[in-house]
A and B are shown apart, each in its own frame.
Chain A
Amino acid sequence: MSGDCILSVDRLTMRFGGIVAVNDLSFGAERRNITALIGPNGAGKTTVFNCITGFYKPTSGAMRLTHDDGRDIRLERLNDFRISKQAKVARTFQNIRLFPGMTALENLMVAQHNALMLASGLTFLGLIGAPSWRSAEKRAIDQATLWLDRIGLLERADDAAGNLPYGDQRRLEIARAMCTEPALLCLDEPAAGLNTRESAALSELLLAIRADHGVSILLIEHDMSVVMEISDHVVVMDYGVKIAEGSPQDVRDDPKVIAAYLGADEEEAIAVMESGT
């Protein structure tokens, strides 16, 4: 894959004991594009995500993140919170991980932690209520309000996140990730558990985020309507290896992909397709 890649994954391998979850995987995500990572259950998609976002340390391979200013960051050398803080990679989780006992607004405030920490003079300026801190806090609240408005949750800003409906929680988690001002946004099954209408709204939100904030998006998704509608590039995985990649249309017609999804042999799948057309 050519062009301007924000993320290039090169020969990534992740082993858990004897199990090879990801095997020699290489792919790239282009800047300001929406790249989808799809594949049947257990294909190793979330493992790839966990490697990119620093939750796992890959067994081997390289992951290079290139910022707009040309700064290169080797993700496999960073770990834990530094991926988000320094490399500006934000993520959401397959099973929503909000702070349920905190309000929607507080959730978005926590996401701005690192910027606010500096503004509060590592707490000391904040403790004495310095004016610079106050204005920084106000800006942070404005930023959070802006996002709450975008995801249509302004009315419920002061409600506990755990009390929000499922679809709202999904959108709030995306807004929270965006409040860290990422360069790359990784979404792990953002449409899981959403109904058709909510899925459509999600697609719109993701397209709007990309258009307005110039952020690149990498997503894992099972909902093919979302994948086909918004992705620019699709990478298909099965059993830890990449079996296909290309535009949504290409991938949809790829016999190997159909075989992986139908669980049939390649020849059989081709036969099925040919008899269908």
Chain B
Amino acid sequence: MTAPAPEPTLASRAPGAAFIFKKALISALVALVLFSLMIGIRTEAGPTGQLIYWTRFGDLAAMVGAVFGGSIIVELLRQWWGPVGTIRIVPPSVQKTLAVARRGIAPVLLIFTFLVPVIFYNQRYILDLGILVLTYVMLGWGLNVVVGLAGLLDLGYVAFYAVGAYSYALLATNFGLSFWVCLPLAGILAALWGVMLGFPVLRLRGDYLAIVTLAFGEIIRLVIINWQSLTGGPNGVTGIPRPTLFGIPLTPGDDGLAARLGIEFSTTHRIVFLFYLILALALLTNWVTIRLRRLPIGRAWEALREDEVACRALGINTTTTKLTAFATGAMFGGFAGAFFATRQGFISPESFTFQESALVLAIVVLGGMGSQLGVALAALTMIGGFELFRGLDQYRMLVFGVAMVLLMIWRPRGLIGHRAPTVFLRHSQAISSDLVKEGHG
């Protein structure tokens, strides 16, 4: 399939129409095979246990027809609007407005995030959701260092999240260390795990790297489940201390924050505190990543993603460069894990399944690999959007899936599909995603 010419003639359209028809027919055929048993025949156990079944060929025909029609519509949309990189007829004025909007979106988003606890003070649900979104924003930014900048596909990121969470939980419950002492420790321990993972996978690329990191994520989870004496196994760790405001607990007691300030105690105080805590952690991640990108180490990460052989020819130690990327990403994952533990008060291996890794990776890919703003938007869409569709009940996943597919058709390189240079002489101009490599691991 080719992109349509600027002025398509009837002649050039004709093969396109045949192509679309053929494609729709194939889609309909696949749907027929798939749905003939799923929808066409309905079975149920009868009153005496025997199998009764009846056919629903009308529904089946409707479904196949819908797939046929839908396939044609999708193809037409693709041909007319096209994916990124095809000819787009957007007037310059609109493009300029979009560029202004793009510049403005980050500060507006940041100010709004700061105001969320003020605006929604009485809506616990929104605050909780905000904390959840920010946790994933932070995880996304952390993984972005590894996947987006260094181009190393990591499917086991949740392992570092788990190491951070268990580090805090175990240090706090066993040794009574405070959150603020444990936070850096959790980061350092996770970074150490990052280096430990990094060493064996240094020689691997692409698919192989992905599989080993996936296995690493599972190993950590299985160790946590089975090392009962230390981690409590599947029962998890309970009674994890809540964070304090530099030693002042957020409790109703006499020494609590509310009593000291002379205001009435409310459980919302803690939620608001947690909200600003994760916001601060996420912004720290963002700030450090933005700084690192402009330092030689960050440029080396991106160069590694672009061409590893050229890096070696320029005297860049690819081993340490990869390890620092793993360690930095893991450290942020560890911070997020420690926050998760203190927020929940209870952690168990169930929170650290592969699904979490996949979700964070989806956020990074959807956001546009390497783009900080893109990752934040993607986390908002993925986590917030998912909650938004809650009213649709069982269709929620379906709507979500369709939204993802559409996004990948129109923006195959993510929401923010261009790269901003780290240094410039005269003017910084965005680099098209077509040129930027995705890395081979």
Tell me the count of chain B residues lying within 8 A, CB to CB, of chain A. Answer: 39
B317 CB within 8 Å of chain A: yes
Q: Mark interface residues in B362-374 (1 if CB within 8 Å of A CB, else 0).
A: 0000000000000
Q: Mark interface residues in A91-104 (1 if CB within 8 Å of B CB, else 0).
A: 10100011111110
A36 CB within 8 Å of chain B: no
User: Which B residues lie at the A interface, using CB under 8 A?
Assistant: 288, 291-292, 295-297, 299-300, 302-303, 305-307, 309-318, 324, 419, 421-429, 431-432, 435-437
19 contacts between A and B (CB under 8 A): A54-B312, A81-B315, A84-B312, A85-B315, A97-B309, A97-B313, A99-B306, A101-B419, A101-B436, A109-B423, A110-B303, A110-B316, A116-B295, A117-B296, A127-B288, A127-B292, A158-B425, A158-B428, A160-B431
Q: A91 to B312: give the CA distance in the assembly, Å.
A: 10
Chain A residues whose CB sits within 8 angstroms of the CB of B427 once the complex forms: 158
Partner of B437, one of A53, A81, A101, A120: A101
Beta-carbon nearest neighbor of B309 in chain A: A97
User: Which A residues lie at the B interface, using CB under 8 A?
Assistant: 53-55, 80-85, 90-91, 93, 97-103, 105-106, 109-114, 116-117, 120, 123, 126-127, 141, 145, 154, 157-160, 162-163, 176-177, 180
Interface pair B422/A106, CB less than 8 Å apart: yes
Partner of B316, one of A93, A103, A105, A113: A113
Beta-carbon nearest neighbor of A159 in chain B: B429
Interface pair B315/A180, CB less than 8 Å apart: yes
Chain A residues whose CB sits within 8 angstroms of the CB of B303 once the complex forms: 99, 102, 110, 113
User: Given contacts A123-B292, A123-B297, A162-B435, are A103 and B315 in contact (CB under 8 A)?
Assistant: no
Q: A154 to B425: give the CA distance in the assembly, Å.
A: 9
Beta-carbon nearest neighbor of A83 in chain B: B315
Tell me how far the C-beta of A53 lies from the nearest C-beta in chain B, rounded to whole angstroms: 7
Beta-carbon nearest neighbor of B370 in chain A: A101
A82-B315, A85-B317, A157-B425 known; 18 new pairs, CB 8 Å cut-off, are A85-B315, A91-B313, A101-B419, A102-B303, A102-B421, A102-B431, A106-B302, A106-B423, A109-B423, A113-B296, A116-B295, A117-B297, A141-B423, A145-B425, A157-B426, A160-B432, A162-B435, A177-B314
Chain B residues whose CB sits within 8 angstroms of the CB of A157 once the complex forms: 424-426
Interface pair A113/B299, CB less than 8 Å apart: yes
Interface pair A84/B314, CB less than 8 Å apart: yes
Partner of A98, one of B296, B307, B316: B307
Interface pair A120/B424, CB less than 8 Å apart: no
Chain B residues whose CB sits within 8 angstroms of the CB of A163 once the complex forms: 435
Tell me how far the C-beta of A45 lies from the nearest C-beta in chain B, rounded to whole angstroms: 17
Interface pair B435/A114, CB less than 8 Å apart: no
Beta-carbon nearest neighbor of B305 in chain A: A101
Q: A81 to B435: give the CA distance in the assembly, Å.
A: 25
User: Given contacts A101-B437, A157-B426, are A176 and B314 in contact (CB under 8 A)?
Assistant: yes
Interface pair B296/A120, CB less than 8 Å apart: yes
Tell me how far the C-beta of A246 lies from the nearest C-beta in chain B, rounded to whole angstroms: 30
Interface pair B426/A158, CB less than 8 Å apart: yes
Interface pair B310/A113, CB less than 8 Å apart: no
Beta-carbon nearest neighbor of B424 in chain A: A158
User: Given contacts A113-B299, A120-B296, are A84 and B313 in contact (CB under 8 A)?
Assistant: yes
Q: A110 to B306: give the CA distance in the assembly, Å.
A: 12
Chain A residues whose CB sits within 8 angstroms of the CB of B292 once the complex forms: 123, 127
User: Given contacts A123-B295, A126-B296, A127-B288, are A99 and B307 in contact (CB under 8 A)?
Assistant: yes
Interface pair B299/A109, CB less than 8 Å apart: yes
Tell me how far the C-beta of A85 lies from the nearest C-beta in chain B, rounded to whole angstroms: 4
Chain A residues whose CB sits within 8 angstroms of the CB of B312 once the complex forms: 54-55, 80-81, 84
Tell me how far the C-beta of A250 lies from the nearest C-beta in chain B, rounded to whole angstroms: 32
Interface pair B421/A106, CB less than 8 Å apart: yes
Chain A residues whose CB sits within 8 angstroms of the CB of B306 once the complex forms: 99-102
Interface pair A105/B425, CB less than 8 Å apart: yes
Tell me how far the C-beta of B244 lies from the nearest C-beta in chain A, rounded to whole angstroms: 28
Partner of B435, one of A101, A106, A109, A116: A101
Q: A163 to B429: give the CA distance in the assembly, Å.
A: 13
Interface pair A180/B314, CB less than 8 Å apart: yes
Most buried by A among B302, B318, B324, B423: B423
Tell me how far the C-beta of A81 lies from the nearest C-beta in chain B, rounded to whole angstroms: 5
User: Given contacts A103-B431, A113-B296, A117-B297, are A97 and B317 in contact (CB under 8 A)?
Assistant: no
Interface pair B437/A100, CB less than 8 Å apart: yes
Chain A residues whose CB sits within 8 angstroms of the CB of B317 once the complex forms: 81, 85
Chain A residues whose CB sits within 8 angstroms of the CB of B307 once the complex forms: 97-99
Q: A111 to B310: give the CA distance in the assembly, Å.
A: 10
Tell me how far the C-beta of B324 lies from the nearest C-beta in chain A, rounded to whole angstroms: 8
Partner of B295, one of A90, A114, A120: A120
Tell me how far the C-beta of B292 lies from the nearest C-beta in chain A, rounded to whole angstroms: 7
User: Given contacts A106-B422, A160-B431, A162-B435, are A98 and B310 in contact (CB under 8 A)?
Assistant: yes
Interface pair B421/A99, CB less than 8 Å apart: no
Chain B residues whose CB sits within 8 angstroms of the CB of A120 once the complex forms: 295-297
Interface pair B314/A113, CB less than 8 Å apart: yes
Beta-carbon nearest neighbor of B422 in chain A: A106
Chain A residues whose CB sits within 8 angstroms of the CB of B324 once the complex forms: 123
Q: A246 to B438: give the CA distance in the assembly, Å.
A: 46
Chain A residues whose CB sits within 8 angstroms of the CB of B299 once the complex forms: 102, 106, 109-110, 113
User: Given contacts A84-B313, A160-B431, are A105 and B423 in contact (CB under 8 A)?
Assistant: yes
Chain B residues whose CB sits within 8 angstroms of the CB of A98 once the complex forms: 307, 310
Q: A157 to B435: give the CA distance in the assembly, Å.
A: 16
Q: A113 to B300: give the CA distance in the assembly, Å.
A: 7
Beta-carbon nearest neighbor of B434 in chain A: A162
